[in-house]
Amino acid sequence: MLKFNDTFMKLNNKGLMKFNFIKDNKGNIFTGLYLVMIIFVILIAILILNLSIAYTELNNNQLNSKTFNYILNDYQTNIPILSYNVLENLSNNIVKNKIPLINSKESIKEELEKSLLRKNNQYYKNSGIQIESHVIYIGDGEDPFHINIKTIISAYKDNMSYNNQITSEISIENLKDPLPAIKCGKYPNFSYNDTNYNYGDSLSKYLESKNQSGAQYYTNGSSPLIIKKCIYEPYTQHGDGISMENCLENGYYHESRDGSCYFHRLEGVGQCLDYGMETFVIPNPKLNQSGLIATSSPDHVIFGYSYPGESLLLNSYSKSKSLIFLDDSHRKKYGLF
């Protein structure tokens, strides 16, 4: 044991057992600096790794946000489509069953919210986004051929959320007009095809029930099934010789302060206080005599407050639908004096 200690002391006195962490006897940097460098490299690596993770998370958040917004935009574009489908289904059912709606706006709201709920569940299943939608308003659009629907939309996923109220303008063009089916559908000779209602003797019986003179002139009459906005504006252009006949041939509808709006047509109301529309009910196509008196041919006069008009022979370029009954105010409106 004494020998070991003596040996250790000798080596220590010669400096052979001294640990210099900065320099060895040749002046070279070794263990201490290496340790600092290793620690520095590790810190840099950790910093780079953290930056990479943060950048990835940022990209993922941006991607998720873009996907979230894209899906919501897509959802909103579906609302007018779903709304139109609801209107189409309601009008088709009325024409088929001849039964009016009690409150058309409430029925539209109820059916649309059912449709939106199904769509919400579909979006949640496909994207994980929870969407809530509530219809808060259904009313008239900028003209009688459009309606407005306001919907509140809320959406959530992870830390993302969305809340907005949107207004959708829905065209009613190319939908069926249910009013004639409600008014005359109970009569056995009433029928319709893809474009027109064909009244048989149903309309003349309907007018007789209202004590209207000249009801027989509407036997085998017809009117449009599909709502199409008239292309001739201003309306006085109808008096140019051929426009009126083309209008009748195509079954066009016109803006009218006395005509029934689409909501009231769904309820079987022939005339309302809203800014509505009118089309023409064509009398018996075999009539070719001017000066006859019968109910004026605009449909709000036929199915609403009725008053007489005089038969008007048009300058026909065809042999069909060349006569209608018009009162003075409608003759003036359509330039037919």
- pLDDT of 39: 80
Provide the mean pLDDT of the chain.
Answer: 87
- pLDDT, tens digit, 9 for 90 and up, residues 271-323: 999 999 999 999 999 998 889 999 999 999 999 999 999 999 886 555 554 79
d(CA 287, CA 280): 16
- pLDDT of 202: 98
- pLDDT, tens digit, 9 for 90 and up, residues 121-133: 999 999 899 999 9
- pLDDT of 57: 54
**Token output for 283:** 């009398």
- pLDDT of 47: 75
Contact (Cβ atoms closer than 8 angstroms) between residue 193 and residue 225: yes
- Within 10 angstroms of residue 337's Cβ, the number of other Cβ atoms is 9
- pLDDT, tens digit, 9 for 90 and up, residues 94-120: 999 999 999 999 999 999 999 999 999
d(CA 211, CA 218): 14
Residue 17 — very low, low, confident or very high, per pLDDT cuts 50/70/90? very low
- Within 10 angstroms of residue 37's Cβ, the number of other Cβ atoms is 11
How open is the CA angle 141-180-173, to the nearest 5 degrees? 35
Using DSSP, state whether 194 is helix, strand or coil: coil
Q: How far is CA 196 from the centre of its chain?
A: 26
Residue with the bigger pLDDT between 205 and 40: it is: 205
Contact (Cβ atoms closer than 8 angstroms) between residue 235 and residue 253: no
- pLDDT, tens digit, 9 for 90 and up, residues 178-217: 999 999 999 999 999 999 999 999 999 999 999 999 999 9
pTM summary value: 0.80
Q: Which residues contact 96 (CB under 8 A, 6 or more apart)?
A: none
Q: How far apart are the first and last CA of the chain?
A: 140
Tell me which H or E stretch contains 51: helix 31-97
